[in-house]
Amino acid sequence: MNTSKKIWIISAIFFAALIVGGVTLMGSTDFSASLPTSTNKSVAPDFKLVSLSGKEVRLSDLKGKPVVLNFWASWCGPCREESPLLGSTAKKYDDNVEFLGVAVNDSEDKVKTFSKRSGMDYHIGLDNGSIADAYNVNGIPATFFIDSDGQIVDTWVGGISEENLTTRIEKLL
């Protein structure tokens, strides 16, 4: 076998290994757990959310109580997976933590139907993009953990597990 043919075969094997490795990484069932989270404190931008029930909620009005702020959409696969967990966790911490849902690029009818079916019984409203922009949301789901002083103390990008959600809420309390 001549040298150029050996080099071509070795190169082909190398590139095939790169492709297989990349596909394996992207097919990981817990890819979101490897996404970066932030623990640098910063002031949570204030906003007004009109909930699906018509109630106006301002983040600044919730000062004194920790907040879990979740950006999501009914058409988003990982959002659909985590929504029942968010609903049940909101009920569990109802007296101690406020949950807010911000539906991004979605319709009111779909958000109402989906949130009801998923047990998301907390303040949920539609965003025209201004709230997501204020929080620099580049992908959903994205969850922000805001302490009782109005400081963002942690974020999670991607679908969140029960363990990660509970751990972050407990740090807020």
Q: State the pLDDT at residue 27.
A: 36
Over residues 168-172, the mean pLDDT reads: 96
User: In this model, does residue 172 exceed pLDDT 80?
Assistant: yes
Query: Is-above-0.85 flag for pTM?
Result: no
Distances (CA, A) of 81 to 95, 152, 158: 25, 24, 11
What pLDDT score was predicted for residue 11? 58
* Residues belonging to the active site: 76, 79
CB crowding 91-105: b at 16 or more within 10 Å, else e? eebeeebbbbbbbbe
pLDDT of residue 9: 61
